Amino acid sequence: MGFKFNFFLTVFPEILPFLKITLFLAITAYLLALVLAIIISVCRTFKIKGINKFLDLYISLFRSTPIVTQLFFIYFGIPQIIPAFGMIDEMIILIIVLALNEAAYMAEVIRGAFLSIPRGQYDAAKSIGMTTRETLQHIVIPQAIRIALPGLVNSIISLTKGTSIGYTIGVLEMLTASQLYGARTYRTIEVYVAVLLIYWAIVLIMTRFQSGVENRLNRRYS
Q: Does residue 22 contact residue 173 with C-beta atoms inside 8 Å?
A: yes
CA dihedral 65, 68, 74, 77 (to 10 degrees): -90
Q: Does residue 15 contact residue 178 with C-beta atoms inside 8 Å?
A: yes
Express each pLDDT in 163-193 by its tens digit. 999 999 989 899 999 999 999 999 999 999 9
Among the ranges 43-52, 122-131, 201-210, which has the highest mean pLDDT value?
201-210
Express each pLDDT in 39-60 by its tens digit. 998 888 777 777 888 999 999 9
In this predicted structure, the answer to whether residue 126 has a pLDDT above a threshold of 90 is no
Confidence at residue 221, expressed as pLDDT on a 0 to 100 scale: 58
pLDDT, average across residues 67-88: 92
Q: Does residue 177 contact residue 18 with C-beta atoms inside 8 Å?
A: yes
Give the residue with greater pLDDT, 216 vs 56: 56
Domain boundaries, the chain: 5-221
d(CA 138, CA 128): 13
pLDDT, average across residues 148-153: 84
Number of alpha carbons in the 13 Å side-chain half-sphere of residue 79: 12
Average pLDDT, the chain: 88
In this predicted structure, the answer to whether residue 4 has a pLDDT above a threshold of 60 is yes
How many helices (H) and strands (E) in the chain? 11, 0
d(CA 161, CA 166): 10
In this predicted structure, the answer to whether residue 14 has a pLDDT above a threshold of 90 is yes
In this predicted structure, the answer to whether residue 222 has a pLDDT above a threshold of 60 is no
Residue 139's pLDDT band (cuts 50, 70, 90): confident
In this predicted structure, the answer to whether residue 1 has a pLDDT above a threshold of 70 is no
In this predicted structure, the answer to whether residue 132 has a pLDDT above a threshold of 60 is yes
Q: What SS3 class is residue 61?
A: helix
Q: Does residue 5 contact residue 139 with C-beta atoms inside 8 Å?
A: no
| φ, ψ of residue 189 in degrees (nearest 5) | -65, -45
CATH of domain 5-221: 1.10.3720.10
Express each pLDDT in 100-116 by its tens digit. 999 999 999 988 888 88
